[in-house]
Amino acid sequence: MVNSIPMSQPWISEDDIQAVVDVLQTPTLSIGPKVRQFEELIAAYTGTAHAVAVNSGTSGLHLSLAAAGIGQGDEVITSPFSFVASANCAIYQGATPVFADIDARTLNIDAACVREKITDRTRAIIPVDVFGQPAPREAIGEIAHHHDLVLIEDACEAIGAERHGVRTGGGGIQAAVFAFYPNKQMTTGEGGIIVTDDASYAAILRSMANQGRDDAGTWMNHVRLGYNYRLDEMSAALGISQIRRLDEILARRERVASWYGERLCHIPGVEIPYVAPETTRMSWFVYVIRVAGGIDRDTLLARLADDGIPSRPYFVPIHLQPFYRERYGYTEGDFPVTESVARTTLAIPFFTEMTEAQVDRVCDRIAHYVTSC
């Protein structure tokens, strides 16, 4: 039987395990000091004034729009090439997600397409830092400023990334949201965090994440509509341990990405990820290749699976998901760049502790199948 290579897996150290065990030996498993410490560390790392921990990146995106007053009848512009939560968060608020097509090289939202989608109902823009590469925040920021729009960065895949030397989460935006699911660069199991420089906005976020309680967290005093989006103490403790070695994690992932790049760039019909000159630090979340039109991506996926090598189409366009087709009437051809990219992309195994031998095996099998097409 062929030994399978994991698609992804978190790097959990003995220190991580001990950090969680230490919390379990206390009586405080929620709303305690570890959450606040984790928030302070993330704020310091991203260079922002405030951080509000939540139970997922999706919750963070939802709260960011809710706290900004986005609601019924509003429009929120975002990318169709992303995980579905980037758009769903607008629907949670009664708003309509409006898609703008992407740049064919960076795979991030195209600022020119964003500009074309502005209407008198547009209230917010959510650019997505796809696969760990920051979106063009300068151009999109100018659009948001000109039209007085809320700018929320979906940085769920991009902790530690930098554009023009500015770390993701900073740069004068309303808020940025990070996620820490186990396939992310660092993990808290489930969990996410919102960073912002706006103190009053942070206070609203904190209240809404804690059932709408007042700023003091008074247990039975609810001053606004809120949610149970709190992060628990065990998850926060894991996050504290992980962020202390985040730069090492990112460096190890960059090394794995470089191994892939060195081997795959010589295979005809395979295109390695493009890193824009403006991206002064890529935060490698996944490793996604593109295959030429003469190669059947889905057949390649199946053949790799037969050899114990998992892979995934990344992403299925949001507008072509069944729910979005049914609710909004989207169809093929609505966002041609996104659809062209989605037909040819394939995420291959990628994780922090991946070995060079595992990379060699994946690349050897890709070369074998691609050259035999």
Cα-based distances in Å from 177 to 114, 191, 245, 289: 20, 11, 20, 26
Rounded CA separation 107/317 (Å): 12
| Cα of 56 vs its chain's centroid, Å | 11
Widest distance between CA atoms in the chain: 67
Listed residue (336, 320, 317, 316) closest to 328, CA to CA: 320
- Candidates 34, 62, 163, 184; catalytic one: 184
Cis peptide bond upstream of 315, omega within 30: yes
Rounded CA separation 351/353 (Å): 6
Helix 246-264 / helix 233-243 crossing angle, nearest 10 deg:
60
Q: Known catalytic residue: 34?
A: no
Helix 356-371 / helix 297-306 crossing angle, nearest 10 deg:
130
- 131 contacts 273 by C-beta, under 8 angstroms: yes
Residue ranges of alpha helices (H) inside the chain are 14-24, 33-46, 57-67, 85-92, 111-116, 137-146, 199-209, 233-243, 246-264, 297-306, 322-328, 336-344, 356-371
Q: Which of the residues are catalytic?
A: 184
